[in-house]
Structure 1
């Protein structure tokens, strides 16, 4: 389509000739799983999955038996039965993550080569096919986007393979002023890149189906000219070397439809952003390697920084409108998980390659921004409940969908477990609402009385499984000299792990509260909307902080006072949760502070290799963003 007229519209003809490709809408009510032999399937997949799931089930049953023993004294009443069910579900969630992390820890230490013949240290492979790099955008800051795109364009040019790639900026922006700014920024980008510019811009008239519709529109209009494409988020950066290796891996393996990289979080300036990028860099590889090990050719898709086979996507991933009641009905919001499931149903392999570096993204600058984004993801993931019964899905694909749904239900489940875990001892102590206090009462004391060794054993097991992935990530970092130096050395990285754990514990009650409220809102039919994200500044004025977190603060104060009235020991037992709620405003404000982030950076706490020795593409993108004229 031609661009709308504007004072700074790019030169006519910047879009290539259309090459239509049919992309039929799929049905969830019918479908057959195709499972041809995948040459790229890792060996012994049944044993790998049995090891992970079997170990998780075994440990969960062991812990469930211990809790049952604590409860069995006078028979299990409905409240105790509720506690047992909640514990089993939440413990199973923890232990599966732990077992996967153990597998990932072993793999990281072994330093096995990446799948699909990707060898990052080998010379760059030759390319024979064209790849489209798609950047779907919605109400983003144009100059910032074009700076990142220019850095990737130049990085590809340095590989000598630029001629095999085309960039498409796919705009869904609705604000007229911002549309004009996008066109102006794009025209300036083309002028800077000169004759070798391989960039195109398209603004949709109708932004139906949001991001998924933006991508499918491109597939139906230009997909026939590109055997593969890669989706970039507005905050994505990838090196030319990585893009070339991904394209070569796709063209060399005909059974593969998707190759997902492990994006590393960069450019964090606030305390919260730097905490997130440190956690992702230290703990992320252990988790990702473990997931890739047992998912095999049924890996998931995270919506960006992944290479996709165009024909497979067109044949299998046309998303239907979901039926039912809103907000579950309508356009698929978290489209990536569903597209991955449909690709696998269609007989295609999907792989995650965490060993391939050169893939980057940015994290939210504050806890508030993360929770806003999380609210949208909450609705999208809960919406997958309508996709779970789809015919023909692979069981691992259903597992991915369940994990996405379960992620948001864990918050209210933890809250319920805590409430029930207090209510049972209170009732056994003879508490009633007419009785204000119970001197010396503490839930931990009640549970220890049932069987102290079992209670302490289950508590220790649970906490060790929660914290072990952090420890394994730190140990894996320590045995890699490059990573160890890049994370500030052994002592500073250990301090970073301890500080991150403390801050995460203080933020956990806030997250639990907001996620629980979000689940309730989704179930009540309240839509999350579709807003652009803040990228750099996460600060909020005090008035806005009071609006967002004042009720939470008052709730925490009320809960603390109520617990104190019952027993000071109960208040002490609840202190970690109550403190997180009461201090929510200063905690959020501190996390959004650039000054606190800068202080930690000067002392190399929460350091990452990409911060201390940034890759060229990141240096170039940041320099372009900082330049007033962006030249």
Structure 2
């Protein structure tokens, strides 16, 4: 902490000087990129892993070989006599879905071998090597949108102090980039910002609020780049729920400095602070399986890796020159601003000649996860729309074929859900056909022998078992790799606890999977029907729902599960058993959603960061306990916190110029109504949220609101 205090004293503001929310601007042009443009040549040979083409060929050929063998076996199962239309449909769906499983299995197998071999050395990043020095200036960006300010600034301060402890703080400026639309949250962000400046004494932490949330997060980052990017070599981007050690931040910035052809370095964020059963389930799965899978994909991604939107370092000049996103033609949800901007930005930067790298073994990168199935599904709906929107970007000219593959993988992650659902329904129809429709043993015309409708049940059992084994095998690979690593085994609570936790994770995930299949299928249909997901605030600490809400969301799933089970049992007991993995999960969806949103299973699903938390996580949680609950209501902020309102007023920009007749209607209406109100309570009750926000964005109107509050 001495480093923080020393740095703070060195940059403390003179007594009586008002807080400076922003530094001087250093503007950078960031033109929108056309989708159809040639790829810019650039030699990345020095950065490309050895035999990268062979690596990619291995993944593709392994996927094709496994899929071809499985397709042949499934064909033999279905075509003992002849192949009907329904059976042909099942075969086609099976091949598509098995190819997805085989692709994941091939990646996992590679990751398993690499994990047993030890750390990788991507870009020379060695977590055990001495921390490098930095020559250039870098920025740490924290975009936020209506997040709880106490937790946001607790994580920010913990990361800031961790960077200070490295002795490299002078190379970094920190920016909170707010797109918050809720007026009370906006003022509380400024309150927390002022308190952070007072605690640290820092003149290197800044706060900027956007008047208009154009293009959402991509527009938020783009606005910063165009206004301040000229000061910095790179930007390390965090999400509102992200946390990073100073060691990781410095190593990322150093990688950008040391490799002039690298445009982006992505880390693997580890989930932390899981409190509910569902969050701890995601946390355990991500911590045990994630590093192995990340090693596998990084092995063949090479210089064409991907970007996940946060916990990554980006070269500012490369981003500004090539990552300006175009607005897609057409109506939402496929048209308009690009939602899943990160994939597209990485693809455009690679098209511009910059290497996109992944550092899966760099420690100290953390994030949080939604606390319940409900919140996870809500976030998944937004991601679904963003990934399906990439269908319009796939034909873009000049993209590297691996960048196109990233888009296809993202699209496939959601398209497979309705395909699994259709596969299930067609399988049921085949069983119903066999049970209720009398077979025609003798076809029309002369024939000496009957045609017996048959399938091969023994081979079918082998195919089903092999498919399930390939789905589960990556989890056991990761378990075995961790069991053979003493530090990991100890971090997960020992071998027996690891094995028990893995079994629990597999069982609970299998029960939750049918509900997620339905939710994702509905999301895909919703997007295809033209419905926009919007931009909702994510709950992070509590996922519980009242019974009425549980019944509304999960009652239909429960009913579907019970009806399917009853229908299957009426047809045959074997069909009932075959349907059990789906029907049980759907029938129990309500209690599963309720129970997994609560705390529990404390003796299982243990992760190393939970048993021995890293210092930055401990510090963030300590600060969170201190800061959460310190927010004030909008009325109290206006009446009793003069330093906050004065600081807010001091950083408001003059109203932007506009064309004749193009006015802010919310502001015009709000100012007219302010003249009629008798009290602040009346104003806050009758003004809409949009009108309050317009008032808070306009210096003259905000002065009128404060005067009303203090009259």
Q: How far apart, CA to CA, are the structure 1 residues paired with 2:508 and 2:42?
A: 45
Contact 2:25-2:228 at 8 Å conserved across structures: yes
1:280 matched to 2:279? The reply is no
Task: Give 3-state SS (helix, strand or coil) of 1:168's partner.
Answer: strand
- 1:173-212, aligned counterparts within 5 Å? 173-194=180-201, 196-212=202-218
Residue 614 in structure 1 maps to residue 620 in structure 2: no
How do residues 364-383 of structure 1 correspond to structure 2 at under 5 angstroms? 364-383=370-389
DSSP 3-state at the match of 2:456: helix
Q: What is the distance in 1 between the residues matched to 2:528 and 2:402?
A: 26
Contact kept in structure 1, 2:19 and 2:194, CA below 8 Å: no
Is 1:253 the counterpart of 2:278? The answer is no
1:255 and 1:319 map into 2 onto residues whose CA distance is 21
Moved over 4 A (4+): 628-631
Residues in 2 aligned to 1:562 and 1:245: alpha-carbon distance in whole angstroms: 58
Q: Deviations over 1:257-284 (max 9, x none)?
A: 1100011000001111111111111111
Instruction: Give the alignment of 1:151-550 within 5 angstroms.
Output: 151-194=158-201, 196-431=202-437, 450-550=455-555
The answer to whether the aligner puts 1:91 opposite 2:98 as a matched pair is yes
SS at match of 2:207: strand
CA change 1:629–1:607 in 2 (3 A) is: closer
The 2-side partners of 1:105 and 1:148 are apart by 33
Q: How many residues align?
A: 601
Partner of 1:625: 624
What is the correspondence of 1:113-152 to structure 2 with a 5 Å cutoff? Answer: 113-152=120-159
Match of residue 577 from structure 1: 582
The 10-residue stretch of structure 1 (552-561 or 49-58) with the greater mean CA deviation from structure 2: 552-561
**1:168-188 Cα deviation digits (max 9, x unpaired):** 000000111111111111111
Question: 1:413-442: CA deviations, max 9, x gaps?
Answer: 11111111222233234449xxxxxxxxxx
Q: Kindly tell me: are residues 174 and 431 of structure 1, through their superposed partners in 2, closer, same or farther at Cα, counting changes over 3 Å?
A: same
Q: Does 1:79 find its partner at 2:86?
A: yes
Give the secondary-structure state (helix, strand or coil) at the position aligned to 1:258. strand
Give, in whole Å, the separation in 1 of the partners of 2:381 and 2:627.
Answer: 35
Deviation for aligned residue 1:305: 0.1
Secondary structure at 2:538 match in 1: coil
Structure 1 residues 44 and 474, CA gap change in structure 2 (3 angstroms)? same
Query: Is the alpha carbon distance of 1:504 and 1:180 closer, same or farther for their aligned partners in structure 2, counting shifts above 3 Å?
Result: same
| Residues 1:44 and 1:621: Cα distance change in structure 2 (over 3 Å) | same
Match of 1:439 in 2: none
CA–CA separation in structure 1 for the residues paired with 2:235 and 2:543: 32
Counterparts of 1:555 and 1:408 in 2: how far apart (Å)? 21
Deviations 1:565-604 (A, max 9, x none): 323432232122111111111001111012x1xxx22x2x
Q: Which has the larger radius of gyration?
A: 2
1:35-55, Cα deviation, whole Å (9 max, x unpaired): 523311111001100111111
Q: Is there any run of 5+ residues in structure 2 with no aligned partner, and where?
A: 1-16, 439-451, 631-711
Compared with structure 1, are the counterparts of its residues 186 and 467 closer, same or farther at alpha carbon in structure 2 (3 Å cutoff)? same
Asked if the contact 1:150–1:189 (Cα under 8 Å) also holds between the matched residues in 2, the reply is: yes
Equivalent pair of 1:300/1:337 in contact (CA under 8 Å): yes
Deviations 1:289-331 (Å, cap 9, x if unpaired)?
Answer: 0000011111011000000011111111000011234210001
Question: Which of 545, 549, 557 does residue 552 from structure 1 map onto?
Answer: 557
Question: CA–CA distance in 2 between the matches of 1:538 and 1:36?
Answer: 49
Report the CA distance between 1:395 and its aligned residue. 0.6
Query: Contact between 1:11 and 1:187, CA under 8 Å: does it hold in 2?
Result: no
Alignment of 1:33-44 (within 5 A): 34-44=41-51
- Identify if the C-alpha distance between structure 1 residues 509 and 629 changes in structure 2 by more than 3 Å, giving closer, same or farther: closer
**What SS is found at the alignment partner of 2:124?**
coil
- Matching residue of 2:33: 26
Asked if structure 1 preserves the Cα contact closer than 8 Å seen for 2:175 and 2:207, the reply is yes
Q: 8 Å contact 1:292–1:352 — kept in the other structure? A: yes
Residue 369 of structure 1 and its aligned partner are, at CA, apart by 0.8
2:663 corresponding residue in structure 1: none
Aligned partner of residue 116 in structure 1, secondary structure:
helix
Root mean square deviation, CA, Å: 1.7
Is contact 1:39-1:255 (8 Å) kept?
no
Matched-pair contact (CA < 8 Å) for 2:150–2:627: no
Q: What is the aligned counterpart of 1:588 among 589, 593, 602?
A: 593
Report if aligned partners of 2:79, 2:455 keep a CA contact under 8 Å in 1: no
Cα offsets for 1:323-363 (capped at 9, x unmatched): 23421000100001111111111111111111110000011
Instruction: Indicate if the aligned counterparts of 1:38 and 1:255 stay in contact, CA closer than 8 A.
Output: no
| Kept after mapping to 2: 8 A contact 1:114/1:356 | no
1:62 maps to 69
TM-aligned CA deviation for residue 113 of structure 1: 3.4
Deviation at 1:460, TM superposition (A): 2.3
Instruction: Indicate which of 47, 52, 57 corresponds to 1:50.
Output: 57
